[in-house]
Amino acid sequence: MSRLFGTDGVRGLAGLDITAESALALAQGAALVLGRTARQESRRPVAVVARDPRVSGEFIAAAVSAGLASSGVDVLDAGVITTPAAAYLVQDIDADFGVMVSASHNPAPDNGIKFFARGGRKLPDAVEDEIELALAGAPLRPIGAEVGTIRRFSDAEDRYLVHLLGTLDVSLEGLHVALDCAHGAAAGVSPRAFADAGARVTVMGNDPDGLNINREVGSTHLEQLRELVVSSGADLGIAHDGDADRCLAIDADGKVVDGDQIMAILALSGKRRGRLTDDTLVATVMSNLGLRVAMERHGIELVQTAVGDRYVLEALREYGLALGGEQSGHIIFSRYATTGDGILTGLQIAAEMARTGKPLSELAAVMEVYPQVLVNVSGVDRLGLRGNQPIADAVARAEAELGSNGRVLLRPSGTEKMVRVMVEAQEHHVAQSIADELAELVRAELAVSA
253 φ, ψ to 5°? -90, 0
Query: Does 433 belong to an annotated binding site?
Result: no
H helix runs in 256-359, sequence order: 259-272, 289-297, 309-319, 342-356
What distances in angstroms separate CA 151 from CA 35, 170, 218, 409, 413, one per listed residue?
18, 36, 32, 49, 42
- Whether the CB-CB separation of 281 and 303 falls below 8 Å is answered with yes
Element housing 111 (H / E): strand 110-117
According to DSSP, the residues that pair with 113 across neighbouring strands are: 10, 101
Between CA 133 and CA 150 the distance in angstroms is 26
**Both ends of the chain: CA-CA distance in Å?**
24
Q: Which residues pair with 249 in a beta bridge?
A: 238, 257
209 is in an annotated binding site: no
Look at residues 358, 302, 345 and name the one whose alpha carbon lies nearest to residue 84.
345
The answer to the question of whether 243 is labelled as a binding residue is: yes
CA separation for the pair 129, 3 (Å, rounded): 8
Q: Which residues, including other chains, have CB under 8 Å from residue 129's CB and lie 6 or more apart?
A: 3, 5
Q: Please give the positions annotated as active site.
A: 104
Ligand-binding site membership of 104 (annotated):
yes
- Binding-site residues for Mg(2+): 104, 241, 243, 245
- Binding-site residues: 104, 241, 243, 245
